[in-house]
Amino acid sequence: MHLEDGLLGHTKPLTANPVFNDQKLKLGIFSSNCSGGVIMSHEPTDFRVTWDQQLEIARTADELGMEAMVPVGRWTGFGGETNFNGVCFETYTWAAGLAQATENIGIFTTTHVPTVHPIVAAKMATTIDHISGGRFGMNLVMGWFTPEMEMFGRKQLEHDERYAYGQDWLEFAMKLWNEEEGFDYDGPYFQSTGAHAYPKPVQDDRPALLNAGASPAGQDFSARNVDINLIALPTEEVPGYVKGIKQLANDEYERNIDVWTYCLVICRETEKEARAAQQAIIGKGDWPGAQIIMDVLGIQSQSFGTQITQFQERFIAGWGGPNLVGTPEQVCEQFSELSDAGMAGAVFGFHDYARELKEFGAEVMPLMRKHGLRH
Nearest residue to 255 (alpha-carbon basis) of 298, 289, 226 = 226
The answer to whether residue 204 is domain-embedded is: yes
Indicate the SS3 state at residue 110. Answer: strand
**Residue 331 confidence (pLDDT) above 70:** yes
Pairwise pLDDT comparison (145 vs 91), residue with the higher score: 91
**Residue 162 confidence (pLDDT) above 80:** yes
For position 150, what pLDDT does the model report? 86
**Residue 200 confidence (pLDDT) above 70:** yes
As a whole number, mean pLDDT of residues 294-310 equals: 62
**Residue 305 confidence (pLDDT) above 50:** no
As a whole number, mean pLDDT of residues 101-113 equals: 97
As a whole number, mean pLDDT of residues 261-274 equals: 98
For position 7, what pLDDT does the model report? 34
The answer to whether residue 164 is domain-embedded is: yes
Question: How much is the mean pLDDT over the chain?
Answer: 92
The answer to whether residue 304 is domain-embedded is: no
Instruction: Tell me the pLDDT band of 276, cut-offs 50, 70 and 90.
Output: very high
In sequence order, what DSSP letters do the residues of 324-367 get, joined into one string?
Answer: EEESHHHHHHHHHHHHHHT--EEEEE-SSHHHHHHHHHHHTHHH
The answer to whether residue 363 is domain-embedded is: yes
The answer to whether residue 293 is domain-embedded is: no
- pTM value is 0.92
Q: How many C-alpha atoms does 225 have within 13 Å on its Cβ side?
A: 28
**Residue 306 confidence (pLDDT) above 60:** no
As a whole number, mean pLDDT of residues 13-39 equals: 91
The answer to whether residue 125 is domain-embedded is: yes
In this structure, what CATH number is given to the domain that contains residue 8?
3.20.20.30
CA distances from 107 to 100, 183, 194, 308 (A): 10, 30, 31, 35
Answer whether 2's CB lies under 8 Å from 16's CB. Answer: no
The answer to whether residue 278 is domain-embedded is: yes
Instruction: Tell me the pLDDT band of 143, cut-offs 50, 70 and 90.
Output: confident
What is the per-residue pLDDT across 227-254, written as a single tens digit (0 to 9) for each? 999 999 888 999 999 999 999 999 999 9
As a whole number, mean pLDDT of residues 325-353 equals: 98
Instruction: Tell me the pLDDT band of 356, cut-offs 50, 70 and 90.
Output: very high
For position 307, what pLDDT does the model report? 59
**Residue 297 confidence (pLDDT) above 80:** no
**Residue 5 confidence (pLDDT) above 60:** no
> Is the peptide bond between 46 and the residue preceding it cis, with omega within 30 degrees of 0?
no
Total structural domains within the chain: 1
For 236, the domain range is 3-285+322-370
What is the per-residue pLDDT across 108-131, written as a single tens digit (0 to 9) for each? 999 999 999 999 999 999 999 999
The answer to whether residue 25 is domain-embedded is: yes
